[in-house]
Amino acid sequence: MVIPKKQTNKENLLSQGVQLLMQQGYHGTGLKEILDAVQIPKGSFYNYFTSKESFAAEVIQHYINPFVEQLDKHLQNPDMDALTALKHYFNELVAELEKAQFKGGCLLGNLMGEIGDTSDVCQKSLRLAVHRYQSLLANGLKKAQMEGTVRIDKSADDMADLLVNTWQGALLRMKIEQSAEPLRQCCHDLLDDYFSV
């Protein structure tokens, strides 16, 4: 199947957007820079997006999609219980962040801090991305509760919220410490200790 050029251009713009927004932030990234990177004229940008804000909102969803797919793949693994699947998933993330030498962190966390309270369009997209991620984590924790590996006196939704919030904080600490230790501590304290039976 041949992918239409318009779709390819949009995908390239979104992928480039993830890289540039991760490296330079929303305010540090200009449209010209994005367009130059994918070699399309400015007028073409507006065939895909109504504004830089709407572009950033789509970049946020483009960014979270592979994480949701990766997490879902782990949770669907028939050879693993849900708690082990969650641990494997987070261990993979830690390894990827170490390989990247702790650069970037999480685009969601970065943008939440930069424009989370100033752009309604991006705020909605960030909320949706976090909800999609949190919801899948909650499903995994519910499954682990049914399997008897995770405590049942706390709701899976509350534990998923705590995991997302703690992970985001650990990612910020990782950047200033230049170490995976805050991430490992987050996973150990929650998945190995607080959540487990």
Pull the structure tokens for residue 41: 């004229």
Confidence of residue 5 (pLDDT cuts 50, 70, 90): low
* pTM, two decimal places: 0.91
DSSP-derived 3-state class of residue 167? helix
Q: How many degrees, rounded to 5, is the angle at CA 85 between CA 69 and CA 112? A: 50
Mean pLDDT, range 103-107, rounded to an integer: 86
Confidence of residue 6 (pLDDT cuts 50, 70, 90): low
Superfamily the domain 53-194 falls into: Tetracycline Repressor, domain 2 (1.10.357.10)
CA distance 146 to 176: 38
DSSP 63-86: HHHHHHHHHHHHHT-TTS-HHHHH
pLDDT tens by residue, 116-134? 889 999 999 999 999 999 9
Residue 68: partners with Cβ closer than 8 Å, 6 or more residues away:
132, 133, 136
